Amino acid sequence: MKTRSQTAPKPLKTVALAPRSSGSKRSSRPKPAGKGDPRAPKKPPTAFFYFMEDFRKTYKQENPSVKSMQEIGKACGGKWNTMAFEEKVKYYDIATEKRAEFEKAMIEYNKKKESGEISEESD
DNA sequence: TCATTGATTGTTGAT
DNA sequence: ATCAACAATCAATGA
């Protein structure tokens, strides 16, 4: 409800009227601004990641032989899909709070940039 | 690097 | 000029 995301597939507008007109495939990010940013707020882990932290331990206990995150990741995704929203909401809640802080940090970060770019702290 | 999914951000297109 | 949507990249882990 507050955030725009949260897996809320809403009907589009422009897309409905103009599906893909103006052929312009923006393949790849035109301007990777977040590459050389001095102190750009990094993205906080998503609910899935938080769940993974907990799942990792559990999975490791049941599968001490499995150390590859690749396999755990698949297992995580599999279970994540079977998990009830009530269980997931718990991780969503954590991630949501983190995002709130991240958003705030991003706003200030943008302001700084707008103000006059951030001085690269000469260490 | 790989895989998982979610989330964010940026750019562009259209009105 | 502003809204809306898309699209791609990134986030951590652990060998």
**A70, part of any domain:** yes
Note the CA–C1' distance, A25 to B7, in angstroms. Answer: 22
Q: What is the pLDDT of residues A37-79, one digit of tens each?
A: 666 788 899 999 999 999 999 998 888 888 788 899 999 999 9
Q: What is the pLDDT of residues A76-104, one digit of tens each?
A: 999 999 998 888 899 989 998 888 888 88
**A100, part of any domain:** yes
Sequence length of chain A is: 123
Torsions phi, psi for A66 (to 5 deg): -85, 115
**A60, part of any domain:** yes
Measuring from the CA of residue A49 to each C1' atom, give the nucleotide at the shortest distance: C12
Of A123, A118, A122, nearest to A38 (Cα)? A118
Q: What is the pLDDT of residues A6-25, one digit of tens each?
A: 444 444 455 555 544 444 44
AA letter at A16:
A
pLDDT at A77: 92
Q: What is the DSSP letter of A8?
A: -
Tell me, what CATH number does A105's domain have? 1.10.30.10
Domain that holds residue A99: 41-111
Q: How far apart are CA A110 and CA A117, in angstroms?
A: 9
Number of separate domains in chain A:
1
Q: Which residue ranges have CB below 7 A from strand B? A: A 3-7, 14, 17-18, 21-22, 24, 26, 29-31, 33-34, 43, 46-49, 52, 68-70, 73-74, 76-77, 80-81, 92, 95, 99, 102-103, 106, 110
AA letter at A34:
G
For chain A, the farthest-separated pair of C-alpha atoms sits apart, in whole angstroms, at: 53
